Amino acid sequence: KASMHMAGGAKKVVISAPSADAPMFVMGVNNEKYENSMDVVSNASCTTNCLAPLAKVINDEFGIKEALMTTVHAVTATQQTVDGPSQKDWRGGRAACYNIIPSSTGAAKAVGKVIPELNGKLTGMSFRVPTANVSVVDLTARLENGADYATICAKIKDASENEMKGILGYQNKDIVSSDFISDTHSSIFDEKAGIALTDDFVKLVSWYDNEAGYSQRVIDLIKHMDVSK
């Protein structure tokens, strides 16, 4: 469908959603693999853009053996204001404004497309909650090489100040979801929200403005494509 824009005169098309057949890119994770011959590309989803930078840092530093992701996701335009029919699933047709709605998401599996080493090691699900904006990812991972929680946090903080600057943020204050409205990071790691059971079994929490943060990455991908001519 996206290629129809090219028939209308567009030279390049960026899909602001996951795609089954177009190359998928997450800025800060695999955008260096973009080639000028690629005319139609995907910017993945807002949740993949939150999860992938965090997963990359953890996998590069400690190795991810296996992991489960849950996103607690703000309401989106696809949901119903009151109970009604849903083409996707029965629960998805329930009223968005006063329900917590379990839902499927391909965001975790999509990480395997942008970080091939994690293919088959990640899956996840979503809870749609009645908030207007800002979502949060819970990544529960078993690590190949264990480390205490403070060391893991230190590695994430270092990445946020260096190679992932502007993509991955770091927060150690007692903040809540509305504090991240208009934050343009793809992912903001919350040091105080995470926990560890053992050195190799950890729960990591990262916030994202699923509107502003994602929109900024679409712009960044377009700019990256332009300078990569």
Non-local CB neighbours of 154 within 8 Å, separated by 6+ positions: none
Can you read off the two tokens belonging to residue 88? 């996707």
Can you read off the two tokens belonging to residue 117? 């080493």
Give me the catalytic one of 46, 50, 97, 153: 46
46 catalytically annotated: yes
Please, are residues 51 and 108 in contact by the beta-carbon 8 Å criterion?
A: yes
Non-local CB neighbours of 42 within 8 Å, separated by 6+ positions: 14, 15, 17, 18, 19, 22, 23, 24, 25
Please, are residues 170 and 152 in contact by the beta-carbon 8 Å criterion?
A: no
**Which one-letter DSSP state was computed for residue 116?**
G
What are the catalytic residues?
46
